Structure 1
Amino acid sequence: MTSKTTSLEVLQGGLLPAQRRQRIVEFLRSHGAVTLPQLEQALAVSQSTLRRDLDGLAADGVVERTHGGALLKQQGYSAFEPDAHAATELSPAEKRAIGMAAAAALEPHQSVIFDSGTTVLEAARAVVARNIPLTAVTNDLAIAQVLGAAPGIQVHVLGGQLRPGFTTVLGPSVIEGAAAISADVLLCGAHAVNAGMLSETSAEVAAVKRAFAQSARVRRLLVDASKFRAAALMRVLPLRTFDQVLTDDAISEADVEQVRTLGVDLLRVKP
């Protein structure tokens, strides 16, 4: 076994707190994000102990706590995309609540662009549960599969190149396809929101989001409170591009004020 923990291998218990925290940091350097169940499996330590470890690392400015796990802090993080599986498990209740609110705002027979991402995926699941007829456009294969299970939803999947390790399709073909669309609503996700700007770790992902924003009359941003954090590498769009931000009630008052100062409607949901 190497000195670094770069996979979900089960380690022997009995580590000192300092050793345990170092293992956590090493995992985050490899994966960008971690959930409590992942750490419990990797370190064979109780979740209550791991919560204290993460809280201590957060107090030291090393990690950023989220509901259900942690993210690597700003240093070395602007170009790092969290592991897709970890991203799914971070803030799950918040994402479900935001997705349900986004789905509730849609009207039957609207045309809707579903951007990629775990929170938008929850919106897709909530739309299917509502059983309303829609025309959907997406570049995410997981979202397309969910929406395709509803007989009243016509799903258009934009073609291109599959992003390694993700279910997202990217590239010039997606952007060209988006340019031919005039949709009623865009449900968009983001890697980070900071200083009135959306940002992403990938230039290709950022380009697709910009194209989607140009192709919808109403733009709604779906982000849990943990997404209001240090900016990632690639700027995407100003926050004022969006008509509404849907987030959870853990958002800080400073971030609330920033959104409202930009004249963007803010909807806070309780998980």
Structure 2
Amino acid sequence: MMKMFVTERRNKIMELLHDKQRLTVKELSEQIGVSEATLRTDLNKMEKNGLLTRTHGGAMLNQQSEVDYDTSFSVREKQNRKEKSLIAKEAFQFIEEKQCILLDASSTALELARYLNEQMIRLTVVTSGIQTALELKDNPNITVILIGGVVTKGSTTMEGTLGVELLNKLNIDILFTSANGFSVENGMTDFNLYEVELKQHMVKKAQKIVAVIDHSKIGVTSSAPFASTDQIDVLITNDSIDSDTERILVNHNIQVISAL
């Protein structure tokens, strides 16, 4: 078996756990083809990240991880659609003519793409979202650049770091990104480790980070962080954030906008 990178190996562990719910280190070693010592290190790290729970001799899937994994893009796209549309309209105010903006593969970013498609504005849109690229591909005023990467089964996003070389050649004015969860302590977090790895590079490349997060994600922490609270410039949500949290965000120099 070809040697896996750490991220590939840990994603494979999660795939196997989602299939079996509980596995021993020995079973994982046989199926993945790496030593039990390596797998114990992986499992301990993944437990710290909230991906799984260690058991005697193995690991089992966390309930929250199962929920995250089973929420497909098609389902997420339909959730809170009206709220995401309001967020998209607020996000548009930060976009200027001839900018180069970066959209992740989230359903909220797709709503922003749909809104952009109705506007008379010239832009370059770089995205890791296949659906987002398709939404904008026929707009004569918008140049669409799709970040390269791996497309996994059932996914609408480019994953992995194959697109990093392309990102490094571009000057990105604004990144609009969503997440499975956002909290002051942990920042923006997501479930898919491949996607997290790419998003970390996207965050580093953009001059401004605009978090577009519907209310259901606020106060939630998913598996792995890709943007710390200090890296976020603007947070747009569809509901009022409690005063204590908003005060903390403002103290972090984050502009908070409620798209009501």
TM-score (norm 1): 0.68
Q: Residues 9-28 of structure 1 correspond to what in structure 2 (within 5 A)?
A: none
TM-superposed CA distance for 1:112, in Å, is 0.5
Q: Does 1:214 align with 2:204?
A: yes
Report if the CA contact (8 A) 1:184-1:218 is conserved.
yes
Aligned mate of 1:76, from 38, 63, 73: 63
The answer to whether structure 1 residue 104 and structure 2 residue 98 are counterparts is: no
Change (3 A) 1:251 1:163: farther
Contact 1:187 1:219 in 2 (8 A): yes
Displacement of 1:163? 3.0
For residues 233-244 of structure 1, the aligned pairs below 5 Å read: 233-244=223-234
1:85-96 correspondence to structure 2 within 5 Å: 85-96=74-85
Query: What secondary structure, in the 3-state scheme, does the structure 1 residue paired with 2:203 have?
Result: helix
Which amino acid counterpart does residue 63 of structure 2 have in structure 1?
G
Q: How many pairs were matched up?
A: 198
C-alpha change, 1:252 and 1:149, in structure 2 (3 Å) is: farther
User: What corresponds to 2:218 in structure 1?
Assistant: 228
CA shift for structure 1 position 140: 0.8
Task: Identify if the C-alpha distance between structure 1 residues 178 and 147 changes in structure 2 by more than 3 Å, giving closer, same or farther.
Answer: same
1:129 to 100, 106, 118: 118
Once the two structures are TM-superposed, the CA of residue 250 in structure 1 deviates from its matched residue by: 4.3
Whole-Å separation in 2 of the counterparts to 1:235 and 1:100: 26
Letter in 1 for 2:169: A
> Secondary structure of the residue that 2:162 maps to in structure 1?
helix
Residues 92/252 of structure 1: CA separation in 2 closer, same or farther (3 Å cut): farther
Work out whether 1:118 is the aligned partner of 2:98: no
Q: State the secondary structure of the residue aligned to 2:221.
A: coil
Letter of the structure 2 residue corresponding to residue 111 of structure 1: C
In the other structure, the counterpart of 1:261 is 251
Q: 2:13 — aligned with what?
A: none
The residue number in structure 2 matching 1:176 is 165
CA displacement, residues 57-103 of structure 1 (integer Å, 9 cap, x when unaligned) = xxxxxxxxxxxxxxxxxx62146232222211111111000011112
CA RMSD of aligned residues (A): 1.9
Q: Does the CA contact (< 8 Å) of 2:73 and 2:156 recur in 1? A: no
CA offsets per residue over residues 22-71 of structure 1, 9 Å max, x none? Answer: xxxxxxx99xxxxxxxxxxxxxxxxxxxxxxxxxxxxxxxxxxxxxxxxx
TM-score (structure 2 length as normaliser): 0.71
* 1:201 CA displacement: 0.7
> Structure 1: how far apart are the matches of 2:163 and 2:244?
36
Structure 1 alignment gaps of length 5 or more: 1-28, 31-74
Q: Conserved in 2, the CA contact under 8 Å of 1:114 and 1:120?
A: yes
Equivalent in the alignment of 1:42 = none
Give the superposition deviation at 1:104.
2.9
Residues 202/190 of structure 1: CA separation in 2 closer, same or farther (3 Å cut): same
2:26 match: none
Within the candidate set 151, 160, 168, 1:162 is matched to 151
Q: CA deviation at 1:176?
A: 2.5
Q: Deviations over 1:135-169 (max 9, x none)?
A: 11111110001111211000111111113212101
1:194 aligned residue: 183
Distance in 1 (alpha carbons) for counterparts of 2:189 and 2:180:
6
Runs of 4+ in 1 over 3 A off after TM superposition: 250-255
Aligned equivalent of 1:148: 137
Given that 1:179 and 1:211 are in contact with CA atoms closer than 8 Å, whether structure 2 keeps it comes out as no
Helix, strand or coil at the partner of 1:219: strand
Per-residue CA shift, 1:177-231, capped at 9, x if unaligned?
2222221111111110023411111111111111111111111111011111331
Contact 1:109 1:133 in 2 (8 A): yes
